[in-house]
Chain A
Amino acid sequence: EAGVVQSPRYKIIEKKQPVAFWCNPISGHNTLYWYRQNLGQGPELLIRYENEEAVDDSQLPKDRFSAERLKGVDSTLKIQPAELGDSAVYLCASSLTAGLAGVNEQFFGPGTRLTVL
């Protein structure tokens, strides 16, 4: 079974340029997450989708970040314009929908390492 696929793996851009990241979750996983991981830190949630609905985007900087999950499968995260502080690894993860017992194990993609110059 294929895991979570992300592209690109690396991206170097000048500040003020736009950038987009793509994620294909594991088949059958309704929940999709985008995280940002700064160097030496754990992942921090940016947005969580249940199917095509963004159910938690409280940590997404909406002035420059946007995301979509059309048809409830693939997802794209965009930054426009990028700033120096956006340099980080952007991780996508997917899981089965959380139940009464809480959040299920999450399956992570390899991430996109973004460098903003």
Chain B
Amino acid sequence: SQQGEEDPQALSIQEGENATMNCSYKTSINNLQWYRQNSGRGLVHLILIRSNEREKHSGRLRVTLDTSKKSSSLLITASRAADTASYFCATDAWGGNKLVFGAGTILRVKS
């Protein structure tokens, strides 16, 4: 079963625009991670945010976490064609010692 649910399922934007993807989950977590997957490739870790953190930045990425709403968002600013990929959130539930991935958001950045 997949705990995280990403929204939207697919997103198409123009190069230079910002892209926002959301993730909702069901149980209390240790941390939440975001990964990117280019077509035909393995997943690449983007950012990890712990349950006691509210916001984290990495380059053009900004992740927020709201544990009261059990949700997280990933913002990619000034998107590029190379950002075209699937993005997954993955939750590490308390006591689970494993990541549970959502179904992902497919992002297409048009140049």
A residues engaging B (CB < 8 A)?
A: 4, 33, 40-45, 48, 55-56, 91, 93, 98, 101-111, 113
Cα A108 to Cα B45 with chains together (Å): 9
B residues engaging A (CB < 8 A)?
A: 2, 4, 29-31, 33, 35, 40-45, 48, 50, 88, 90, 92, 96-104
Q: Is the CB of B101 within 8 A of A42?
A: yes
Cα A44 to Cα B102 with chains together (Å): 9
Which of A4, A41, A42, A103 is within 8 Å of B31, CB to CB? A103
**Chain B contacts for A33, CB-based, 8 A:** 98
B111 to chain A, nearest CB (A): 25
**Chain A contacts for B50, CB-based, 8 A:** 101-102
Give B2's nearest chain A residue, CB to CB: A42
Q: Is the CB of B48 within 8 A of A41?
A: no
**Chain B contacts for A110, CB-based, 8 A:** 40-42
A56 to chain B, nearest CB (A): 6
Sample (26) of A-B pairs whose CB atoms are under 8 Å apart: A4-B42, A40-B103, A41-B103, A42-B90, A42-B101, A42-B102, A43-B88, A43-B101, A44-B2, A44-B101, A45-B98, A45-B99, A91-B42, A98-B97, A101-B30, A102-B29, A102-B30, A102-B31, A102-B50, A103-B30, A103-B92, A103-B99, A109-B42, A110-B41, A111-B41, A111-B42
